[in-house]
Amino acid sequence: MTFKKILITGAAGRVAQALRRGFGDRLGELRLTDIATVPQLAAHEQFVAADLTNPDHIAGLCDDIDAIIHLAGTPNAKDWATTNRLNIEVSQRLFDTAYKAGIKRIVYASSIHVFGMYKLGNALHADLPPRPDGYYGISKVFGEAALRYHADKHDITGVSVRIGSFRPVPGNVRELATWLSPDDCVSLFERALVAPVQGYFDPLGFSANTRLKINDLNWNALGYEPIDDGELYADDMAVPTEEEIRMWRLLGAHMTGPEY
């Protein structure tokens, strides 16, 4: 499956940069948007500067678009007003606009922080009830619910990718379990876009990590087959401190703290 034009929000961020490199021009033209400028555009890419808190900007971005990858938002806000404005209101407005524009495929960047209060050693599967670890996790639970609503009611295929620890290599012992490599990230988002499925899906966004107990039927439905394993980096990890061990007992790690 290819698309005439795909909208990627939050295009200046790390995930978007990986997707741009991985997709190339194989899936269609890319309309990139962010408040920050996106440099070094390829021939198949178009950049549109936009503030997604502005409804008029969102309306224009959705013109002539076949599919959306919604990455925009902030994990760093520690107050409800900012989280609501940047994560919840923007997502709802974008999904509503996409539905009215006739867009039939939306891929949403959710997060493992919808499950942040589960113990890291627990087996994970997509049907677990949400246990968000803070305002950010709550906002992602809302985004998932909003996208599921449109999938159920408006015949949109929606995929909420619950992204784990996305980085080039695991950064600590905890991330040996929660790592999502750049190559696997590209593969998962590509499958979310092109898999011949209909309805709503919420795959866990991890690589094939030995230390993670996972049973995700969404991977099978979408055809996602991760290839990287954080265990390859185990010998490079520093011995965790007692404080890190305490903090890492929950999936959400530091974001389970009271400041979030």
What pTM, to 2 d.p., does this model score? 0.95
Position 146 scores a pLDDT of 98
Show the domain range for 163.
5-256
Position 60 scores a pLDDT of 92
pLDDT < 50 stretches in the chain: none
How many domains, in total, are found in the chain? Answer: 1
- Among candidate residues 99, 136, 200, 260, the one labeled active-site is 136
**Nearest CA to 104 among 147, 48, 46?**
147
To the query of whether residue 108 is one of the catalytic residues in this protein, the response is no
- CATH code of the domain in which 156 resides: 3.40.50.720
Query: CA torsion sign, 190 to 196 to 200 to 205?
Result: negative
**Nearest CA to 163 among 75, 249, 79, 92?**
75
Position 253 scores a pLDDT of 87
